[in-house]
Amino acid sequence: MSTAATERTNLLGLPRPALETFVAQLGSRPFRARQLMNWIYKRGAGEFAEMSDLARDFRARLAREAEVRPPEVVSTQRSADGTLKWLLRADAAQAFEMVFIPEPDRGTLCISSQVGCALDCSFCATAQQGFNRNLSTAEIVGQVWLASTQLAREAAGADPAAAGGGPSGERRVTNVVLMGMGEPLANFRNVVPALEIFLDDFGFDLSRRRVTLSTSGLVPQIYKLAEVSNVALAVSLHAPDDALRSELVPINRKHPIAELLPACWHYLDEQNGRSVTFEYVMLDGVNDSPAHARALAKLLKGHPAKVNLIPFNPFPGTRYTRSPAPVIQRFRDELLQRGVLATVRRTRGEDIDAACGQLAGRVIDRTTVRLGNKVIGVAVQP
Ligand code: SAH
């Protein structure tokens, strides 16, 4: 990467008001920002030279001062079921992952918000790697831009790598979920502007129900999010009581269930949301008994909640195994019988380690300061 490139402003990091200010600084009229966004997000243009309805000198000025730069692709993998996984460069030594899941009626892009994660959930592959840094807004938005433009190229038949590329399904990004690597609410400052670009009519123009932020339960940030965004909220609950949840999702020790649930209902009230999705990973013999299901139903009954049961996806070194299918069905039935909506997430992309909780990337941990093998301190908190 040349020095000039790093000095240019990456337009993928600027929501519309910031882009208007930037355009004004370049001596152009603010409405040019909408034209620019139209090129970048609707037409997938990455080169200013292509933007034929912009004045020639403005394009030249943009080419000097700005760029449209998504993360660099290290590699891609294609699953037999059509799922695509990208490994994206964070820096010379590190990388993060993104997954596209085609289904008949939608195409879901699962994006990352951090390089690694500091929350240390005991059943998650990302947690094992530790945390390095937050992704920038441009890196978050750049994932969606990159996938959308690549899929559009494939659809146009321009990418030979995609030839015969798996079963059919929606091959456009219609839904975005922040369920890749990282805790999005621990990177609030960069995630919120990205959400704005996803929803903006001149950006990706996604409806707020098609953008889902998944959190492990950072309670103060859920209240903050309610003030600035109205995307769909998913919460990784995974256990119906504090003792078990603290073991699986350690942030629960700081923000227990009795604080987490009111924050969720508050979010819905403020945002006129339909319901919160509670994710619940099915761990064999750990959190999957009928008694757990009944306790969960008691917590959620009467509230606008849906439960999404996620069969555990194993990864090297994990001590957990997946609950057998009949156990998952029984759990679901217990919830349904008690009037709590519940679905089972279909596992996709397992053959390329692209399923929930399997994203690992390449992360240099800097949350723990080690001396030889001994941990001597914690350097970064979420
Ligand atoms: N940090 C956020 C988003 C990332 S994880 C969060 O915790 O919600 C996206 C979902 O995958 C979460 O519900 C997470 O708990 C779940 N998950 C993590 N590891 C998993 C695994 N090994 N198998 C199945 N689901 C897993």
Got the DSSP string for 335-346?
HHHTT-EEEEPP
Cα(52) to centroid(ligand 1), Å: 44
Pairing of strands 305-311, 341-344: parallel
315-331 average pLDDT score: 96
Q: What is the mean pLDDT of residues 173-182?
A: 97
Distance between Cα 355 and ligand 1 center (Å): 10
Smallest CA-to-CA distance from 344 within 359, 323, 358 is with 323
Provide mean pLDDT across the span 21-47.
95
Residue pair 15/196 in contact by the 8 Å Cβ criterion:
yes
User: What separation in Å is there between the alpha carbon of 164 and the centre of ligand 1?
Assistant: 31
Look up tokens 């290290």; give the residue. Answer: 74
- Which residue is closest in CA terms to ligand 1's atom 24? 312
For Cα atoms 154, 156, 160, give the angle at the middle one, nearest 5 degrees: 45
* Alpha carbon of 74 to ligand 1 centroid (Å): 23
- The 10s digit of each residue's pLDDT in 333-365 is 999 999 999 999 988 888 888 877 777 778 888
Burial of 120 (0-12, 13-18, 19+ CB in 10 A): middle
pLDDT of residue 156: 87
Q: What percent of the chain has pLDDT over 70?
A: 92
Mutate which of 214, 348, 359 for ligand 1? The one with the most ligand atoms within 8 Å of its CB, which is: 214
Q: How confident is the model at residue 169 (pLDDT cuts 50, 70, 90)?
A: confident
Q: How does pLDDT run across 99-129, given as a tens digit for each residue? A: 999 999 999 999 999 999 999 999 999 998 8
On average, the pLDDT of the chain sits at: 91
In this predicted structure, the answer to whether residue 376 has a pLDDT above a threshold of 80 is no
CB atoms within 10 A of CB 324: 13
**pTM exceeding the 0.85 threshold for the entire prediction:** yes
Neighbours of 275 (CB within 10 A): 15
Residues touching ligand 1 (Cβ under 6 Å) are 121, 123-124, 179, 183, 214-216, 236, 279, 281, 310, 312-313, 356-357
pLDDT of the residue at 272: 85
Q: What is the pLDDT of residue 12?
A: 98
Indicate the residue type of 73: V
Q: What is the pLDDT of residues 35-71, one digit of tens each?
A: 999 999 999 999 999 999 999 999 999 999 999 999 9
What pLDDT sits at residue 368?
59
What is the pLDDT at residue 167? 56
Residue 238: pLDDT over 70: yes
Over 90: is that where the pLDDT of 381 sits?
no
Marked catalytic residue, from 20, 67, 97, 279: 97
Which band of pLDDT confidence, cut at 50, 70 and 90, is reported for residue 372? very low
